[in-house]
Amino acid sequence: MGCRAVRQRCCCRQSLNGGRGDTGRSWAASCCCWCCMCFRASRWDWQVDVLLGDGEGRGPDVVALTVTFFFFEFLAATQDIAVDGWALTMLSRENVGYASTCNSVGQTAGYFLGNVLFLALESSSFCNKYLRFQPQPRGIVTLSDFLFFWGAVFLITTTLVALLKKETKELIPTKEETKGITDTYRLLFSIIKMPAVLTFCLLILTAKVGFSAADAVTGLKLVEEGVPKEHLALLAVPMVPLQIILPLIISKYTAGPQPLNTFYKAMPFRLLLGLEFAFLVWWTPKVKHEGGFPVYYYVVVLLSYALHQITLYSMYVAIMAFNAKVSDPLIGGTYMTLLNTVSNLGGNWPSTVALWLVDPLTVKECAGAQEQTCGTTVAAELCTKAGGSCVTTLDGYYVESIICVILGFGWWFLLGPKFKKLQDEGQSSWKCKRSN
């Protein structure tokens, strides 16, 4: 959410260039160079170790870390918008749906390299157990070395892009070109008021309500039932190849003129997996033994997660492809950022509400103390003081899972067809229009 918010604020950068889409390479290259310099500067003189604290009485410098990573996020968000807009002008209208494929594959590969792989190589216990013959107190890679390496990679790739990829020199001005920041935001508001865009925003903001319990609460419930967090984290590693391959396969169906068909077809399967996740949480304590969980349990969890990823990526790539398809190249980066921000918000607010509603929907009773209840925090404390204990008789997660699936299928039956019809709208329904 933070990065998306920064992205939305960064839409002014396109207005500084009159809304022209041909400056994508320049902005992407500039932001990469700045990120490269920041990475390398953070590494030199071990600045990262100083900011994070040395573990010997010196704590982390929270203010400096906040400023530093805000600057990183700002640059990355600006580059993200530049690449979005560049993709709309660089790819033909028939192939613009492949922009979502590149986006999802790049994000998955980046998450694996920057999170999973780095944490493994930085961990001394992991390296000593799997990668070394003689134990050492540090991992193979340190954070400062990691930043320095990727700063160099940023610099090399940016130089290659700047030198090898040429931009169109001849520009044909249009009367709809934006002239400044105020003009760009005025155009944004006019875009939101367009019937097709407004309908899309309202529908996508409610489309993911049915998945909120499964996506936001299931992992927490598995940990609550005794599944080690590190084991769940390791299960994400074999998913990385699948997450990279899936967008490539799905793009064959989403790069055409009707990407939302894939979204619509994948939705009921993802809803049913929400019920399967609830069954998985219910089944977890029944297979637990003193040594933990059997191997077949983790196999079931892995297969369930794999099926969930297939449906999730089918819907994600479809929405990204649709946003790229309808975005006006005139202000492509800003336009697509607006649609993607609304799409992400449609998944974030239901997850927040789902997390908040678990406790109110949970039914507990006070065991061991008469005339006491556990309906509130104060009542639970009184129950404990009276010698009793609060016992869960109905977990709100199960109630929430059923409600979400019902709401999800209701959306699919009633609003899903209307959502699909948006892709039948002509380009004029999505094109930026403004009067001088």
Q: What is the DSSP letter of 174?
A: -
Residues contacting residue 294 through CB under 8 Å, at least 6 positions apart: 287
Q: What angle do CA 330, 333, 338 make, to 5 degrees?
A: 105
Q: What is the pLDDT of residue 375?
A: 74
Rounded average pLDDT per 10-residue block, the chain, 436 residues: 37 39 49 52 55 68 81 75 69 69 77 79 81 85 81 80 65 49 76 90 94 92 86 81 85 84 95 95 90 89 94 91 82 76 90 91 81 77 80 88 96 94 86 62
- Pairing status of strand 363-367 against strand 389-394: antiparallel
With vertex at residue 332, the alpha carbon angle to CA 329 and CA 333, rounded to the nearest 5 degrees, is: 160
Q: What is the predicted pLDDT for the residue at 232?
A: 83
Give pLDDT, residue 18.
Answer: 38
- The per-residue pLDDT for 56 is 63
CA distance 304 to 275: 11
What count of residues does the chain have?
436
β-partners of residue 363 are: 394
Report residue 353 as tokens: 């509400």
What's the confidence (pLDDT) of residue 218? Answer: 93
**Token pair 């400096």: residue:** 64
The whole-number pLDDT of residue 168 equals 54
Report the pLDDT value the prediction gives residue 85, as an integer from 0 to 100: 67
Q: Are 158 and 36 in contact (CB under 8 A)?
A: yes
Would you call 327 helix, strand, or coil by DSSP? Answer: coil
> Cα–Cα distance between 31 and 78 in angstroms, integer?
7
Distance CA 66, CA 72 (A): 10
pLDDT for 93 equals: 65
Q: Angle, to 10 degrees, between the axis of helix 332-361 and the axis of helix 181-192?
A: 60
Integer Cα distance of 128 and 126 in angstroms? 6
Q: How far apart are CA 404 and CA 218, in angstroms?
A: 13
- List the beta strands (DSSP E) in 325-362: none
pLDDT at site 179: 56
Q: What is the amino acid identity at position 137?
A: P
Whether the Cβ atoms of residue 106 and residue 345 lie closer than 8 Å to each other: no
CA distance 131 to 235: 19
SS3 of residue 365 by DSSP? strand
